[in-house]
Amino acid sequence: MTSTSFRYWPALSAMVLALTAPAAHADERAALETLRQTTRNLIDALVEGGVLSREKADALMAAAEQKAAAEQTRKPVPAATTTADGKPVLRVPYVPDSVRNQIRDEVKEEVLAQAKAERWGVPNATPSWVDRIRIEGDMRVRYQRDDASENNTSAITYLAAELNNANGISRIPDFAAYRLTSTNLPQPVNDPASDRSRERVRLRLGVSAKVTDEVGVGVRLATGNATDRVSTNQTMGQNFNKYQLFVDRAFVRLDPAEWVTIQGGRIPNPWFSSEMTWNENLNFEGFAATFRSPDPTASVRPFVTLGYFPLRESTPPSRNSRSLWGAQVGANWDLSARTRVKLGLAYYQYNNLEGRSDNDYTISGTSVPTGSTYGQYEYPVGLRQKGNTVFETNPLLSGSLDTAPVWGLAYQFKPIVLTASAEFTHFNPFNIMVSAEYANNTAFSASDFRERATFPTYANVDPGGKRDGYQLKVALGASEVRESHDWQVQATYRNVGSDAVLDAFTDSDLGLGGTNLRGYILGFTYGLYRNSTIGVRYLAAENINSTINSNFPNATYKVNSLQVDFNVRF
């Protein structure tokens, strides 16, 4: 349909008038009938010219006739009488011009509203479903340099602690990984003191659809790999091989009312938190519901979030399936027009994630151990980062070079996390943003560990570690660097104990990821163009407790990192 079709609106208005307004005098009947026929011919011409569909034309005629019938019902014509000479008298009720004009205007407004909604006559009009689809993404290119301290405890020490079963405790068990040489001697595969330079790229592409006002769907693809849930970086240098894209998000969102949102599938992080607890790239698999104040203009707007997320289903299904439950209460508080505060108190509970001694396995020669529960209590290498206290769930296998130990979590995890943030815009455009977070693992218990670690090796062992952690962050500049010449500087200090939070899902950058770290982050971001920024970050971290165990109290790990990013949003 073209814009020229709007020339027909006067004719359409006349059609409505003709069909809805009764004639004032009998001699007008012929003229009205002629007008009706002319209107119908005009509509037929519009249909033949492609301006209107037959369905729309029929709908317009039907609507007009219904209005005419309704008007006749409201004001019935009086019964006919006869004159003195016996001739019948025909009476036609008079319709004032104001009423006729009102009826005409009402119908015209309805037709115009329908035309606008369906884009009649709009050049190159796109289908209405396009307005319900939103596509967005970002592309980042990064240079990263990691400088490890040459005084870091060597991999040989980690390997010796494992093979000699030095109380079976560790906080970076992956440094004890090895391969056998041709002479059947173990050789470490990691070097804690090695430096690394690499170029990395990250692509994220998301599509969201608003099916109705109450139902939405979201999908996002991202680079990365299938075993790293807290990073979507792809390291360059793959001999020009193509990159893989993974489903990073896939969820359904329900908004049945203004005060509640329900999500299910692989959803964005539903919690108000910092990276000390949940990595910014982490998405959750499961279900979450957020209840908030129905009045968005209130100065204090409370909210409650509940969530359930399955982590691993046992095969066959049993009570040992792993899952995460969470609940958070909080509020957004506008202290003034230029001061906004947000608070949140959360409780998270991991179920069946803690390790247990496992003696239900058999070994035949050099084959992999087998048994009904073998590996069931493992905290696997594909899940953990580093920092949490772990123990060997099968210590009888220690010393065997053919079978790697199975590591399990020494503690349960039921942390309470308090998060707060504030934004001050008194000095706009130079805003000040501050945030803080404190976490305490309420399930941190040495006695509970010894109840689960039943081998004699652990009878009098204290796994050690630290149960709490905190983070402070200050930022100055634009609240969000979006426009050209926007900028922001920030400084972060973090002290997160070994077992304050689960290391699998926390930040993957400071200290190259995990817990049992203290250190700082200094960053600067500048807007080169709209939605195009360059950023520099310097990160320095070192361990808090021994990276092995109490038999090696001086085991250390320190690393400094430099990241230079160019990021484009679209």
Whether 93 and 146 map to the same domain: the answer is no
User: What angle (nearest 5°) sits at the alpha carbon of residue 125, between those of residues 124 and 126?
Assistant: 115
Question: What is the pLDDT, as a whole number, of residue 168?
Answer: 86
Q: Which of 125, 152, 185 is the last residue of a domain?
A: 125
Structure tokens at 228: 């790293």
Question: Which bin fits 53, alpha (ψ -120 to 50), beta or left (φ > 0)?
Answer: beta
Give the up-direction half-sphere exposure of residue 4: CA atoms within 13 A in the CB hemisphere: 3
In a domain, 316, yes or no: no
Question: What is the pLDDT, as a whole number, of residue 123?
Answer: 63
Q: List C-alpha distances in Å: 30 to 18, 24, 296, 567.
A: 12, 12, 60, 74
Whether 162 and 206 map to the same domain: the answer is yes
Structure tokens at 543: 């361990």
Cite the beta strand spans of 10-167 per DSSP E.
Answer: 81-82, 88-89, 133-148
Helix axes 97-118, 9-20, angle to 10 degrees: 130
Q: List C-alpha distances in Å: 86 to 77, 80, 89.
A: 20, 12, 9
In a domain, 452, yes or no: yes
What is the Cα–Cα distance from 103 to 71, expressed in whole angstroms? 10
Torsions phi, psi for 130 (to 5 deg): -65, -35
Question: What is the pLDDT, as a whole number, of residue 268?
Answer: 97
What is the Cα–Cα distance from 527 to 538, expressed in whole angstroms? 19
Host domain of residue 71: 3-125
Instruction: Tell me: cis bond preceding 463? Omega within 30 of 0 counts.
Output: no
- Neighbouring CB atoms inside 10 A of 189's CB total 13
What is the Cα–Cα distance from 190 to 281, expressed in whole angstroms? 26
In a domain, 420, yes or no: yes
Question: What is the pLDDT, as a whole number, of residue 28?
Answer: 57
Question: What is the pLDDT, as a whole number, of residue 1?
Answer: 47
Whether 241 and 157 map to the same domain: the answer is yes
Give the up-direction half-sphere exposure of residue 142: CA atoms within 13 A in the CB hemisphere: 22
Whether 87 and 179 map to the same domain: the answer is no
Whether 474 and 538 map to the same domain: the answer is yes
Cite the beta strand spans of 42-104 per DSSP E.
Answer: 81-82, 88-89
In a domain, 428, yes or no: yes
Strand partners, 197: 145
CB 269 within 8 Å of CB 235: no
Please list, in sequence order, all residues whose beta carbon lies within 8 angstroms of the beta carbon of residue 33, skipping any fewer than 6 positions away.
none
> Counting every residue, how long is the chain?
570
Whether 113 and 148 map to the same domain: the answer is no
Whether 51 and 111 map to the same domain: the answer is yes
Q: List C-alpha distances in Å: 368 to 174, 384, 397, 464.
A: 19, 22, 11, 31
Say which amino acid occupies 206. Answer: G
What is the Cα–Cα distance from 198 to 233, expressed in whole angstroms? 11
Whether 26 and 59 map to the same domain: the answer is yes
- Of 204, 517, 549, which is closest to residue 391 (Cα–Cα)? 549
In a domain, 495, yes or no: yes
Beta strands 284-292 and 196-210: pairing type? unpaired
CA dihedral 58, 59, 64, 69 (to 10 degrees): 90
- Of 191, 190, 188, 170, which is closest to residue 178 (Cα–Cα)? 188
Strand partners, 362: 370
Q: Which of 96, 125, 154 is the last residue of a domain?
A: 125
In a domain, 295, yes or no: yes
Helix axes 9-20, 29-48, angle to 10 degrees: 140
Torsions phi, psi for 139 (to 5 deg): -130, 130
Total domain count, the chain: 2
CATH of the domain at 551: 2.40.160.10
CB 326 within 8 Å of CB 348: yes
Whether 54 and 31 map to the same domain: the answer is yes
What is the Cα–Cα distance from 506 to 539, expressed in whole angstroms? 16
Whether 73 and 148 map to the same domain: the answer is no
Question: What is the pLDDT, as a whole number, of residue 501?
Answer: 98
Q: Which of 95, 125, 155 is the last residue of a domain?
A: 125
In a domain, 137, yes or no: yes
- Of 438, 437, 522, 460, which is closest to residue 167 (Cα–Cα)? 460
Question: What is the pLDDT, as a whole number, of residue 177?
Answer: 87
Q: What is the DSSP letter of 570?
A: -
Question: Which bin fits 106, alpha (ψ -120 to 50), beta or left (φ > 0)?
Answer: alpha
Q: List C-alpha distances in Å: 442 to 39, 203, 228, 359.
A: 79, 38, 27, 29
Whether 108 and 149 map to the same domain: the answer is no
pTM strictly above 0.85: no
Whether 63 and 19 map to the same domain: the answer is yes
In a domain, 319, yes or no: no
Please list the pLDDT of the chain residue by residue as tens digits (570 residues): 444 444 444 445 545 444 444 444 445 566 666 667 777 777 776 777 666 677 777 777 777 777 766 666 665 555 556 666 666 666 656 667 777 777 777 877 777 777 666 666 666 666 667 778 999 999 999 999 999 999 999 999 998 888 776 788 999 999 988 888 877 788 888 999 999 999 999 999 999 999 999 999 999 999 988 888 899 999 999 899 999 999 999 999 999 999 999 999 999 999 999 999 999 999 999 999 999 999 988 999 999 999 999 998 876 656 678 999 999 999 999 999 899 999 999 999 999 999 998 877 666 555 566 667 777 889 999 899 999 999 998 865 555 666 678 899 999 999 999 999 999 998 877 899 999 999 999 999 999 999 999 888 888 889 999 999 999 999 999 999 999 999 999 999 999 999 999 999 999 999 999 999 999 999 999 999 999 999 999 999 999 999 999 999 999 999 999 999 999 999
